[in-house]
Amino acid sequence: MKLVVGYLATPGGADAVALAVRLARTLGAELELCIVLQPDRAATARLSIGDFNDLLAEQAKEWLNEAAVPDDVVARSHVSFADSFADGLLKEVARLEGDAVVVGGSGGGLAGPLSLGSVVNELLQAHLARGGAVLLTSHLPPGDAAPPLAPFDLDAFA
Q: Is there a domain that residue 67 lies in?
A: yes
The CATH number assigned to the domain holding 12 equals 3.40.50.620
Q: Give me the tens of pLDDT residue by residue for the chain, a chain 158 residues long.
A: 999 999 988 888 888 899 899 999 999 999 999 999 888 766 555 555 557 788 888 888 999 888 889 999 999 999 999 988 888 998 999 999 998 888 876 554 455 555 566 666 777 777 666 666 655 555 544 444 444 444 444 455 44
Which is nearest to 9 in space by CA: 53, 67, 56?
67
Q: Is there a domain that residue 24 lies in?
A: yes
Domain that residue 75 falls in: 2-41+54-140
Number of domains into which the chain is organized: 1
Residues 27, 153: Cα–Cα separation, whole Å: 9
* Confidence (pLDDT) at 152: 44
| pTM exceeding the 0.85 threshold for the entire prediction | no
Q: Is there a domain that residue 89 lies in?
A: yes
